[in-house]
Amino acid sequence: MKVFLIVFVTFWPILLQVIYGVQDVDPLVHDTARSYGLPPRARFLRITLPSAAPYIATGLRIASAIALVLAVTAELVVGAPGLGQSIVVAQSNANLPRMYALIIVTGLVGWALNTAFQAIERRLLRWHPSQRAEVAS
């Protein structure tokens, strides 16, 4: 149940970002590729996908944060094994140092996820102006 809920909820931010990314493709570039006779698959792989890639990366970063929050919340409420359940057990045993340590670990996991996605995004999208501006600073 927990996995289904996480997949269902994280699907929507990714889908919306993909839609925004595809809508942001410059129509002039698309028309130029069509006039040069590029087949639809090539237009998708060479124009649409690279133009939508920054949006997809943003959607993945948003979805990863939502997935972590939802996983811990589901473990807190349902009692599924994981950090959330460990936090509840520590709280019910009045082991406050362990409870706060687990909360800090959960925050560090979120930070590590975001940092990993940023590093992947920086490596895969180094050609994009937003990444070049970040490197030049």
- pLDDT, one tens digit per residue, over 66-106 is 999 999 998 888 878 888 999 999 999 999 999 999 999 99
What does the pLDDT read at residue 134? 54
pTM: 0.79
Q: What is the DSSP track for 23-89? A: HTS-HHHHHHHHHTT--HHHHIIIIIHHHHHHHHHHHHHHHHHHHHHHHHHHHHHH--SSHHHHHHH
What does the pLDDT read at residue 130? 73
Q: How far apart are CA 20 and CA 62, in angstroms?
A: 14
Phi, psi angle pair for 4, to nearest 5°: -60, -45
What does the pLDDT read at residue 126? 82
